Structure formats: structure tokens, C-alpha cells
Amino acid sequence: MAQGTGHGENGNGGKSPEEAALSARLGRLDQRLSDLRDRREKTEQPAGESGDAAARASAMALGFRLSSELVAGVAVGAGIGWGFDRLLSTSPFGFIVFLLLGFVAGVVNVVRSAGAGQGRRGGS
């Protein structure tokens, strides 16, 4: 490793022609790479913002879907309970029981949907 640390011991005049050619090629390569990085950053910046907006919209859509599943379960349970109370004259008991069953069904649907979404993301 002693040869690698002796870079320019006598100044630039002490370099062999091969070292000078290698340094020039490395300088050109570094310049080309920095130009490519600059171009890529300019072209990918708007795509990154739209990707962020798409991810945000997708998360919002998932949230609305999960909340609507929960509300729908509770509403259907309450409707069925109210219907049983009207048919069987069991006042609030059918409503309460089916409201709770609807809530449980809604929570189960939400957990199932959220779990399925997590399983797909983790497996990709």
C-alpha cells in the first residue's frame, strides 16, 4: 500500500505518463458522472413529487375504504336489529344485539382488509 500513498510525492512533475493519463481519465469520468447525476436529479424531481402525491392519495383511499366498511357494518347491524324489534316487538334488545354484532363484523372486515394489504406489501 506504500505505492498508493505516494501520490504526487514530487509534485505533478514526478508522475509517470501512465499515472497522468489515468488521472486525466478519472477526472473526465468524474465530470461525466456528476453531469449525469445533475440531469437525473432534474428529471426525477417532479416524478418524485407526483409519486408522493400518488402514495398519499392511495393511503387516503385505503382509509376511506376501511372507515366505510366499519360504518357499513354498524349501520347494517342496526338496521337488522331495528327490523327484528319491529317484527317481534322486542323493543331495544334486538337493536342492541345486532348493533353490537354489526360493530364486530365491521371490525373483523377492517382487520381482514388491513391485514391483506400488509401481507401484499410485505411479500413484494
**Domain annotation covers residue 95:** yes
Output the pTM of the full model: 0.52
How many domains would you assign to the chain?
Answer: 1
6 lies in some domain: no
Rg from Cα positions in the chain: 34
Report yes or no on 4 lying in a domain: no
Please determine, for residue 2, whether its predicted confidence score (pLDDT) is greater than 50.
Answer: no
Residue 35 in any domain: the answer is yes
Q: How far apart are CA 35 and CA 115, in angstroms?
A: 45
Q: Strands, E, within the chain: which ranges?
A: none
- Burial label for 99, CB within 10 Å (0-12, 13-18, 19+), is buried
Q: Categorize the per-residue pLDDT at 27 as very low, low, confident or very high, splitting at 50, 70 and 90.
A: very high
Residue 43 lies in a domain: yes
Reported as a single tens digit per residue, the pLDDT across 52-85 is 888 888 889 989 999 999 999 999 999 999 999 9
For residue 31, give Cα distances in angstroms to 20, 38, 42, 43, 48: 17, 11, 17, 19, 25
Instruction: Look at residue 3 and tell me if it is in a domain.
Output: no
Structural domain containing residue 85: 13-123
Residue at 55 is within a domain: yes
